[in-house]
Amino acid sequence: MMQASEAINIVWFLGVIAALALLFVAGLKLPVRLGYASRAVSAALVGAVAVAVVILANVALFRHDAHLDFTREKAFTPSAEAGEVVRGLAEPIDIAYFYQKQNPGAVALGAMLRQLERDNGNFRVRLIDADQNPALASSFGVRTYNSAVLRSGERRIEVVTTDDREIALGVLRLLRRREVVICFAAGNGEYDIDNFEFHTHFEGAHSHSHDASGSAVVQMEQHGIGRLRRAIEKLGVAARKISFATGQPIPDDCGVVVEANPRTRYSPGQTELMRRYLERGGSAMFLIEPDYELDDSLAALLATSGIKVGNGVIVDPKEHYFTDEQMIAVSHYGVHPITRGLTLSFYPGARPLEMVPTAGLKLTPLAVSSSEAYVIADRLGNDSTAVSTLRASRIIAVAVEGQLNETASSIFRMVVAGDADFASNSFFPYLANSDVVLAALAWLTHDERAPTMKPPVEVLPTVSLTGEQMRGIFIVTVLLMPGLIAFAGGAMWWLRR
């Protein structure tokens, strides 16, 4: 669908073409010599008018510069996220981009930075050829091609990139006035933030699985959430491991505590430390897999927060990803700051949650299944092992905000999801999964009003083909091309025999 800015640019382009055509026609009809003046005076007048028209035309073009990008991928147009960040600038930022002239990506980024500069006068760009200005690059402390130095007052950061989104992320980091630390719990077998494996899993005797269900399970390299860590660090947020299993209190500088797929049960002491942290106004994210057995104390803490964690695995025959009915696809969300602008996300094996209305707490279901969903005992089960045959919408993720109890000194925030795999390295980059996790963390850190910006996530290139396309490729490559070669060979033999 064409955007309003593109339509305006096309109108200006057509207007310029029409004006040029009008000037051309007028030039053809203009007499070489005016009847009331000599040839020299006529030439001077015509020249003066032509110069004036050219100057006015250039002024008009400069004031209404039009940018048209007819490439399918919009390769020469700044991303919508970068444009939103730049347009929202309320204070000046200076960017010096030292590019390599032989690098097409760097040249394209320079053009996009010029376009962004026109969107907001506070975004001031200086493009510098690093090869022609080595002394200037050295004075800026630049040692690498395609380095952008961003400055705002006394603050300065350097970004090495050819991607406009990385520049926008640098702007957000530059403008961040407070240090935000996201603490990832460790000590109970949680997902590791130092694990950057793209696809790690468990292989059982019966089937492929992403949990530890079943007795005949061989554990491969564990799932990790290194991609999530890398994404939040690109946003200028610090990631840190903490362990409070030994009785150490949760540090006050933890903006959020993320409990991503614990494997061993909480002790009552750990739960008490988490309770004290929430009573002080802390924020927490619990990502709980279906095979995890909650300790009674942790279940009670979540119930006090208005959330009851159910047992079993949700099966959704209507809304699922690919052909796996346990991989729940969600495209409609509850109304909440976390869910603004979210598209399709999916949850590979989720347990049901229930909301318990509690005075002083505001609970919002973030993600739910379709109304055709039901619950089975485990991932290897079938319809005959259903925990609940009732077809109804099942809650997958919940957000809660309020005072934990009457003695709490501040308001806490919490997000609980009945699945952890959707945030792991294997599924984090796909569809809107990363948007869900990053938006939840932004809300938990009280940063939901900041411009939304998702860091680029490395994804191995994939080619998705429909069944019809695959059949067409088979017919062409396996039948048609060999058949034509055989026919040509047979025809040549027939002619030469």
Looking at the structure, tell me whether residues 317 and 279 fall in a common domain.
yes
pLDDT band at 22 (very low <50, low <70, confident <90, very high): confident
Report which of 409, 417, 415, 413 is spatially closest to residue 283, judged by C-alpha positions: 413
Residue 397 lies in a domain: yes
Average pLDDT, the chain: 83
Looking at the structure, tell me whether residues 196 and 281 fall in a common domain.
yes
Q: What is the mean pLDDT of residues 176-182?
A: 85
pLDDT band at 202 (very low <50, low <70, confident <90, very high): very low
Per-residue pLDDT at 92: 93
Lowest mean pLDDT among 66-75, 319-328, 411-420: 66-75
Residue 41 lies in a domain: yes
Hey, CA dihedral for 250, 251, 252, 253, is it positive or negative? negative
Per-residue pLDDT at 62: 67
Q: What is the mean pLDDT of residues 19-25?
A: 74
Looking at the structure, tell me whether residues 202 and 349 fall in a common domain.
yes
Looking at the structure, tell me whether residues 245 and 151 fall in a common domain.
no
Residue 463 lies in a domain: no
> For residue 334, how many C-alpha atoms fall within 13 Å in the half-sphere facing its CB?
18
Q: Residue 115 is part of which domain span? A: 80-175
Lowest mean pLDDT among 73-87, 237-251, 283-297: 73-87
Q: What is the mean pLDDT of residues 174-182?
A: 85
pLDDT tens digits, 311-337: 999 999 999 887 888 999 998 999 999
Looking at the structure, tell me whether residues 163 and 188 fall in a common domain.
no
Lowest mean pLDDT among 65-74, 115-124, 483-492: 65-74
Q: Is the pLDDT of residue 211 over 50?
A: no
Q: Which carries the bigger pLDDT value, residue 259 or residue 206?
A: 259
Looking at the structure, tell me whether residues 231 and 303 fall in a common domain.
yes
Q: What is the mean pLDDT of residues 24-38?
A: 63
Alpha-carbon distance of 287 to 36, in angstroms, equals 89
Looking at the structure, tell me whether residues 234 and 337 fall in a common domain.
yes
Per-residue pLDDT at 219: 39
Residue 19 lies in a domain: yes
Looking at the structure, tell me whether residues 236 and 361 fall in a common domain.
yes
Q: Which carries the bigger pLDDT value, residue 303 or residue 63?
A: 303
Looking at the structure, tell me whether residues 10 and 106 fall in a common domain.
no
Looking at the structure, tell me whether residues 96 and 219 fall in a common domain.
no
Residue 449 lies in a domain: no
> For residue 283, how many C-alpha atoms fall within 13 Å in the half-sphere facing its CB?
21
Alpha-carbon distance of 423 to 81, in angstroms, equals 22
Best-predicted range by mean pLDDT (220-229, 370-379, 460-469): 370-379
- Which of 444, 465, 489 is a domain's end point? 444
CATH number of the domain where residue 97 is located: 3.40.30.10
Instruction: At 246, list the tokens.
Output: 């030994």
pLDDT band at 95 (very low <50, low <70, confident <90, very high): very high
pLDDT tens digits, 335-384: 999 998 898 999 999 999 999 999 889 999 999 999 999 999 877 765 54
* Long-range contacts formed by 358-363: CB under 8 A, 24+ apart: 358/304, 358/305, 358/306, 358/402, 360/402, 360/403, 361/305, 361/306, 361/400, 361/401, 361/402, 361/403, 362/400, 362/401, 362/402, 363/306, 363/307, 363/398, 363/399, 363/400
Strands 395-402 and 412-417: antiparallel
Give the total number of structural domains in the chain: 3
Alpha-carbon distance of 30 to 213, in angstroms, equals 88
Residue 252 lies in a domain: yes
Q: Is the pLDDT of residue 448 over 80?
A: no
Per-residue pLDDT at 457: 59
Looking at the structure, tell me whether residues 21 and 117 fall in a common domain.
no
- Which of 125, 143, 175 is a domain's end point? 175
Residue type, 358: T
Looking at the structure, tell me whether residues 197 and 277 fall in a common domain.
yes
Q: Is the pLDDT of residue 201 over 60?
A: no
3-state secondary structure 22-87: HHHHHHHHCCCCCCCCCHHHHHHHHHHHHHHHHHHHHHHHHHCCCCCCCCCCCCCCCCHHHHHHHH
Q: Is the pLDDT of residue 63 over 70?
A: no
Best-predicted range by mean pLDDT (35-44, 110-119, 449-458, 488-497): 110-119
pLDDT band at 65 (very low <50, low <70, confident <90, very high): low
pLDDT band at 221 (very low <50, low <70, confident <90, very high): very low
Instruction: At 23, list the tokens.
Output: 């000037």
Instruction: At 262, list the tokens.
Output: 């614990």
Alpha-carbon distance of 40 to 385, in angstroms, equals 101
Residue 33 lies in a domain: yes
Residue 433 lies in a domain: yes
Q: Is the pLDDT of residue 210 over 50?
A: no
Alpha-carbon distance of 370 to 320, in angstroms, equals 9
- Which of 444, 460, 477 is a domain's end point? 444
